[in-house]
Amino acid sequence: MAEPPRPTDHAFTGKSVLGGASEPTYGGALSFMRRRYTRELKGADMVVWGVPFDAATSNRPGARFGPQAIRRASAMLEGDPQYPFQFDPFEKLAVIDWGDCGLDYGRPEDTAKAICSQAAQIIAAGPLLLTLGGDHFVTYPLLQAHARKYGPLALVQFDAHQDTWNPEAGRIDHGSFVARAAIEGLIDVKRSIQIAIRSHAPADHGLEIVWGHEIETLGVAGVTERILKRAGQGRVYLTFDIDALDPAFAPGTGTPVAGGISTREALMILRGLGALDLAGMDVMEVSPPYDHADVTALAGATVAMHLIGLVAERRRKKKCYPAT
């Protein structure tokens, strides 16, 4: 049977993990940016996976549907040189979609262990890991997994909340992962920074904070400079809670807070972080039930694409693609 004029279902039928796809944005299997669905890690530079978990939310649930929504929205981004990078990040950067983390919804007490274990297996094989959440509790076991390989990491966190509440061991809470990571030594607090914070918590655990009201005065260049100065030259874990954006730009999230940054400001800041040595990344708290016209899902997908673009650009400059 002859192949159709525009090959479809690249997520399953693509002949290589490299290169873009050319199928219609409104059809086909919905992997993240049409990447190949596979669990073969050999030759992969980066793995995208989803963690559909939201049992730790303190307000509105729904982030368990976040990975599906982000994948769906990402179909609109694939197929062209990626703005603002002006090249196809998948030309040489081998990125696969692993699918989703396997979780037993009836045993939430085992969630952290399951996420950490599965993430650690991927990381140990060599690829960078980009995670689509899921509520922000998910970042805690991800930091555990990354710290096993890299030691304490600088945390660059875009968020409306400090997430330093109630750090008791064993607590399943999306508002405590930073406190637990700091107490357990998973992050280097002297190199860690939070951006767009618009709420107060009992402690900052030594992290630098760029408050939401400071963004306008500092401007994109000022915020970018503070991140680069704080995080320095070592390994970095970047986590992006979609509620860092103002609810006008990201209504589909569990705990929206007025006064956030715009999608444009967020992407401009991310664009300036090419010097960061990213060891792991995630996009959290996209909650499709509260979204409108995929506005929040598209923002999440674009943030994830920018993170991939930063990694691809850094490797292009170094001409370093060790996994391929």
Rounded to whole angstroms, how far apart are CA atoms 139 and 194? Answer: 14
pTM score above 0.75:
yes
* pLDDT class of 323 with cuts at 50, 70, 90: very low
The answer to whether residue 108 is domain-embedded is yes
> Would you say 221 and 266 are in contact if contact means Cβ atoms under 8 Å apart?
no
The answer to whether residue 17 is domain-embedded is yes
The answer to whether residue 3 is domain-embedded is no
The answer, yes or no, to whether residue 113 has pLDDT greater than 80, is yes
Provide the residue type at 272 as one letter.
Answer: G
Look at the block and give the residue holding tokens 């990381």. Answer: 123
Half-sphere exposure at residue 192, Cβ-oriented, CA atoms within 13 angstroms: 24
Angle at 56 between CA 177 and CA 207, to 5 degrees: 20
The answer, yes or no, to whether residue 321 has pLDDT greater than 60, is no
pLDDT at residue number 212: 97
Looking at the chain, list the stretches that DSSP marks H as alpha helix, in order from N- to C-terminal side. Answer: 10-13, 66-74, 111-124, 139-150, 177-183, 215-231, 263-271, 295-318
Kindly report, residue by residue over 132-173, the tens digit of the pLDDT: 999 999 999 999 999 999 999 999 999 999 999 988 877 888
Domain count within the chain:
1
Provide the residue type at 300 as one letter.
Answer: G
Q: What is the CATH number of the domain that holds 51?
A: 3.40.800.10
The answer to whether residue 4 is domain-embedded is no
Kindly report, residue by residue over 56-79, the tens digit of the pLDDT: 899 999 999 999 999 999 999 976
pLDDT at residue number 317: 81
The answer to whether residue 255 is domain-embedded is yes
The answer to whether residue 323 is domain-embedded is no
- 158-177 in b/e form (b: 16+ CB < 10 A) is bbbbbbbbebeeeeebbbbb
Higher pLDDT: 18 or 3? It is 18
* pLDDT class of 2 with cuts at 50, 70, 90: low
- Of the chain, the percentage scoring pLDDT greater than 70 comes to 94
The string of DSSP letters for 81-104 reads PBTTTTB-TTTTS-EEEEEE----
Report which of 152, 138, 117, 125 is spatially closest to residue 237, judged by C-alpha positions: 152
The answer to whether residue 2 is domain-embedded is no
Task: Please give the residue range of the domain that contains residue 152.
Answer: 10-318
The answer to whether residue 83 is domain-embedded is yes
Q: What's the mean pLDDT when you consider all of the chain?
A: 92
